[in-house]
């Protein structure tokens, strides 16, 4: 009764439903398959590959403590799983679900082609198809989605680490280095200083946050103050959403609500991407297909380098480059500057974030950029254009965040006049607004549940 556990963005032993199911049946062969070509238009970016290498190493070390090991192969996934099943004498293959369009399509094919496959929910609090409006449609607005999610009650208690039984014969494995995930040029010192990928590092980060969880509402808008910084651990599945929910709820009680709401936003992002898979590269609201974005390579490069002349924008972009992460307020301000002050297509920003963020998550990335750009679900009104100087005064009043990432030396002059840029953006959005009514919204194609 040997079972192959196909691990992807669930790189943990505790609260891993697929692993627990396999362990209850008999011997387990944990497998990771590197198949970036099967990720559609979104293979892992450079920062994600850096994290993945270390997370896989940590997982393999944890498995060795259970007398087990991680088998590493290159794709394609279907042929690789078929070969592994034959080599291991496995009679079942299990995995935890993903919700990105390419992953859903690939997993559906695998389930159709291979016998004795089973998938589990492990990444979100509630599966995307379990919540719907009164008319049976997917949610497009967060608040009613959140109410519906809360009405379903507290998540189940997280599962403990299972006892693992090992097979008599192990399939051959590649060395982790064979995947060539690490950069040739050593640009990653700042990432190594900031992060400890892996399940143990995730638990340490969570334990560090819990004493501050009750203060989250008061601290969360100040980029100079620490937040949970759990997003990369959640993305790679080193922690589950329900592990975090349970721990924060137990630590902070009713004061946990503001933070738990952020986990709700994460579920909302996956709900949207699952039901509207085109939104990773196209606006949810079809009228924004006609948004008059500007081609501005110099402005885009200044934004990427953190050289716009606006302190909060530049500090955020420098933090992103050096640490592979940035505070949520800084994400909104930097995204607003690109899409509204520079009027550069949100997809340009989404691509840059995808390559530089250690928590690059297609669902969250898509929701965030379309929210700021005004083209997505629950989007910011088109006239909401963050003034980067006002934002800095309000959320970094003593300049501590800017000083940390920019130093105290001279800074470049602003590359745009914000007032003039705001008028230009309002004119562009007004054209889009007037087009409403003549165009509908693109319907959601049906999805299979993998």
> Within the chain, which residues score under 50 in pLDDT?
438-450
> Within this chain, do residues 135 and 239 fall inside the same structural domain, yes or no?
yes
Where is the domain boundary, 248, 274, 300?
A: 274
Nearest CA-CA partner of 128 in 113, 158, 149: 149
Residue 249 falls within a domain, yes or no? yes
> Within this chain, do residues 145 and 12 fall inside the same structural domain, yes or no?
no
Where is the domain boundary, 241, 274, 307?
A: 274
> Within this chain, do residues 19 and 31 fall inside the same structural domain, yes or no?
yes
Residue 74 falls within a domain, yes or no? yes
Where is the domain boundary, 274, 304, 338?
A: 274
Residue 84 falls within a domain, yes or no? yes
Which helix H or strand E contains 3, and what residues bound it? strand 3-7
> Within this chain, do residues 255 and 322 fall inside the same structural domain, yes or no?
no
State the Cα–Cα distance between residues 45 and 353, nearest whole angstrom: 9
pLDDT at 436: 65
> Within this chain, do residues 224 and 267 fall inside the same structural domain, yes or no?
yes
> Within this chain, do residues 41 and 131 fall inside the same structural domain, yes or no?
no
In the structure encoding, which two tokens stand for residue 248, read together? 């924060």
> Within this chain, do residues 248 and 290 fall inside the same structural domain, yes or no?
no
> Which residue do the tokens 């078929």 mark?
82
Residue 443 falls within a domain, yes or no? no
Following DSSP, what letter does each residue of 252-321 receive, concatenated?
HGGGGHHHHHHHHHHHHHHHHHHH-GGGGTS-SSGGGGG------HHHHHHHHHT-SS-HHHHHHHHHHH
> Which residue do the tokens 């192959």 mark?
4
Sign of CA dihedral 187, 7, 354, 55: negative
The CATH number that applies at residue 324 is 1.10.579.10
Nearest CA-CA partner of 194 in 333, 50, 373: 50
Residue 280 falls within a domain, yes or no? no
pLDDT at 434: 79
pLDDT at 430: 87
3-state DSSP percent of the chain in helix, strand and coil, to 5: 55, 5, 40
> Within this chain, do residues 270 and 388 fall inside the same structural domain, yes or no?
no
Residue 445 falls within a domain, yes or no? no
Domain residue limits at 43:
1-122
Decide: 14 and 160 in contact? Cβ < 8 Å.
Answer: yes
In the structure encoding, which two tokens stand for residue 326, read together? 């940035």
The count of structural domains within the chain is 3
The CATH number that applies at residue 41 is 3.40.50.620
Residue 164 falls within a domain, yes or no? no
Decide: 338 and 28 in contact? Cβ < 8 Å.
Answer: no
- In whole angstroms, how far apart are CA 419 and each of 64, 96, 145, 293? 59, 49, 36, 18
> Within this chain, do residues 292 and 257 fall inside the same structural domain, yes or no?
no
The CATH number that applies at residue 249 is 1.25.40.80
> Within this chain, do residues 128 and 110 fall inside the same structural domain, yes or no?
no
Residue 117: strand pairing partners:
93
- Say how many CA atoms lie within 13 Å of 4 toward its Cβ: 31
Residue 189 falls within a domain, yes or no? no
pLDDT at 446: 43
Cis bond upstream, residue 76 (ω within 30) = yes
DSSP conformational letter for 22: H
- In whole angstroms, how far apart are CA 447 and each of 99, 105, 137, 245? 10, 9, 13, 28
- Say how many CA atoms lie within 13 Å of 310 toward its Cβ: 29
> Within this chain, do residues 118 and 136 fall inside the same structural domain, yes or no?
no
> Within this chain, do residues 329 and 210 fall inside the same structural domain, yes or no?
no
Per-residue buried b or exposed e for 125-145, using 16+ beta carbons within 10 Å of the residue's own CB: bbbbeebeeeeeebbbebeeb
First-to-last alpha carbon distance for the chain, in angstroms, is 22
Which helix H or strand E contains 151, and what residues bound it? helix 142-151
């Amino acid at each position: 009764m040997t079972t192959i556990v196909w691990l992807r963005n669930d790189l943990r032993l505790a609260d891993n439903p697929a692993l627990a199911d396999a362990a209850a049946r008999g011997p387990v062969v944990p497998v990771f398959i590197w198949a970036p070509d099967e990720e559609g238009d979104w293979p892992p970016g450079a920062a994600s590959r850096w994290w993945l290498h270390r997370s896989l190493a940590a997982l393999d070390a944890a498995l060795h403590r259970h007398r087990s090991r991680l088998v590493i192969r290159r794709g394609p996934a279907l042929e690789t799983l078929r070969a592994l099943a034959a080599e291991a004498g496995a009679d079942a293959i299990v995995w935890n679900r993903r919700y990105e369009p390419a992953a859903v399509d690939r997993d559906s094919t695998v389930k159709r082609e291979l016998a004795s496959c089973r998938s589990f929910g492990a990444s979100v609090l509630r599966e995307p198809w379990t919540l719907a409006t009164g008319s049976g449609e997917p949610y497009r607005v967060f608040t009613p989605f959140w109410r519906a999610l809360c009405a379903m009650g507290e998540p189940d208690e997280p599962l403990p680490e299972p006892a693992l039984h090992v097979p008599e014969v192990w399939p051959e494995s590649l060395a982790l280095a064979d995947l060539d995930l690490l950069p040739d040029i050593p640009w990653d010192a700042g990432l190594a200083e900031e992060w400890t990928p892996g399940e143990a590092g995730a638990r340490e980060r969570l334990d560090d946050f819990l004493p501050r969880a009750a203060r989250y509402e008061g601290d969360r808008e100040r980029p100079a103050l620490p937040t949970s910084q759990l997003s990369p651990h959640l993305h790679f599945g080193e922690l589950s959403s329900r592990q975090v929910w349970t721990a924060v709820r137990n630590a902070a009680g009713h004061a946990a609500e503001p933070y738990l709401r952020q986990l709700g936003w994460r579920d909302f992002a996956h709900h949207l991407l699952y039901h509207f898979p085109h939104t990773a590269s196209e606006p949810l609201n079809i009228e924004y297909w006609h948004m008059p974005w500007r081609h501005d390579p110099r402005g885009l490069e200044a934004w990427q380098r953190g050289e716009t002349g606006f302190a909060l924008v530049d500090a955020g972009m420098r933090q992103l480059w050096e640490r592979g992460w940035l505070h949520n307020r800084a994400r909104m301000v930097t995204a607003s500057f690109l899409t509204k002050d520079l009027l550069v297509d949100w997809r340009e920003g989404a691509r840059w974030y995808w390559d530089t963020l250690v928590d690059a998550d297609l669902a969250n990335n898509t929701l965030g950029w379309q929210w700021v750009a005004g083209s997505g679900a629950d989007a910011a009104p088109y006239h909401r254009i963050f003034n980067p100087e006002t934002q800095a005064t309000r959320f970094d009043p003593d300049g501590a965040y800017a000083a940390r990432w920019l130093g105290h030396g001279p800074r470049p002059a602003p590359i745009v006049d914000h007032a003039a840029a705001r008028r230009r953006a309002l004119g562009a959005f007004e054209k889009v607004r007037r087009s409403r009514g003549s165009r509908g919204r693109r319907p959601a194609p049906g999805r299979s549940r993998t």
